[in-house]
Amino acid sequence: MIQLKKVFKSYTSDKQSTNVLKDISLTINEGEFVAVMGASGSGKSTLLNIMGLLDNFEEGELLLEEQECRRLSETERAELRNKKMGFVFQSFHLIPNKTVIKNIELALYYLKVKKKERRDRALKILEQLGLGDKTDQFPNNLSGGQKQRVAIGRAIVTQPSIIFADEPTGALDSKTSLEIMELLKEIHHQGKTIFMITHDINIAAYADRVIHIKDGQLFTEADTITN
C-alpha cells in the first residue's frame, strides 16, 4: 500500500538545520492497522504528513500503491490525497461555517461527485455514525466526540485506500477516546488500512502493529526488547 525507503527530512531555520527523520524505511500493507508511538517532538506528525503527501522530504522514496510520489506536483499530490486518503486530526479540522453535512459533502465535491449523490452519501454516513439528527448543525454546537465522528465520516465517505489519523483522541476525554477507537476498529474490520499516531499506549493497543519512533528513527517491539 505505502512504502517509505530511506527517507530523510530536516527543517532549516535561519541558524541551523534539524534532522527530524533519519533513514526511515517502513511498509504498510493493505488492510493493516499500524500505530506509531513516540514522545512529543519525536517526528510523528512529520512522518504522517510525509506519508499523506502533506509535506516534502529531501532524500529517499515514497511509494503509494507502487507509484513514486516524491517528485509529483502539488496538483498531482492533492488529487491523490482526495482520491485515496482520508485524514483525521487531533483538533478535528472541520470547517466552522459549514454545517455537518456540508463538511462531509465537500470531500465528495473535490472528487466531482454530483450534488444529489453527494448529499445521499453524506446522509448515509451520518446515519451510520449516529449523527442523523446533527446534519444541519454547525461543528461548534457538537461535543468533541461528535466532531471527531464527523471528521471520521469525512475521511471515509470517499472510500479511500488508507486513513491517516494523527492523535485522533488527543483532545477527547478517556471514555470518548475509547468510543472513537471502537469506531476506528470497526472501520478497520470493514477492510480499511489505517495509519495512526499516538503517544498513548492504551490507544496504540487498538492497532495490529505498533512501531516506536525516537529521535527520528523507528523501532519495533522486538528492537525494544533486545536493546
Query: Cβ of residue 91: shortest distance to ligand ADP, in angstroms?
Result: 13
Cα–Cα distance for residue pair 75/111, rounded to 1 Å: 13
- The Cα–Cα gap between 179 and 87 comes to 18
Cβ proximity of 60 and 4 under 8 Å:
yes
In the complex with Mg ion, which residue's Cβ is closer, 45 or 158?
Answer: 45
**Number of residues counted as binding ligand ADP (CB under 6 A):** 10
Task: Return the sign of the alpha-carbon dihedral for residues 45, 48, 54, 56.
Answer: positive
Q: Residue 138, exposed/middle/buried by CB under 10 A (0-12, 13-18, 19+)?
A: middle
Q: What is the DSSP letter of 33?
A: E
CB of 196 to ligand ADP, least distance (A): 12
43 binds, among Mg ion, ligand ADP, none (CB under 5 to 8 A by kind): ligand ADP
Amino acid found at 83: K
Which residue carries 499500524 as its cell? 34
User: Which residue, judged by CB position, is nearest to Mg ion in the bound state?
Assistant: 45
Distance CA 70, CA 62 (A): 6
Q: To the nearest whole angstrom, how small is the minimum distance from the Cβ of residue 46 to ligand ADP?
A: 3
Say if residues 37 and 212 touch (Cβ distance below 8 Å): yes
**Interacting partner of 177 out of ligand ADP, Mg ion, none (Cβ under 5 to 8 A depending on kind):** none
Minimum CB–partner distance for residue 139 and ligand ADP (Å): 24
Q: Which residues contact 50 (CB under 8 A, 6 or more apart)?
A: 4, 7, 9, 21, 56, 57, 62
Q: Pick between residue 54 and residue 123 the one whose CB is nearest to Mg ion.
A: 54
Q: Does 103 bind Mg ion (CB under 5 A)?
A: no
| The three cell numbers locating residue 129 | 455514525
Distance in Å, CB of 171 to ligand ADP, minimum: 14
Query: Under rule CB under 6 A, which residues in 13-72 are in contact with ligand ADP?
Result: 20, 38, 40-46
Residue closer to Mg ion, measured from CB, 37 or 150? 37
Cell of 200: 498513548
Partner whose binding site includes residue 20, from ligand ADP, Mg ion, none (CB under 5 to 8 Å by kind): ligand ADP
User: Contacts with Mg ion in 34-93 (CB under 5 A)?
Assistant: 44-45
In the complex with ligand ADP, which residue's Cβ is closer, 31 or 41? Answer: 41
Interface positions with ligand ADP (CB under 6 A): 11, 20, 38, 40-46
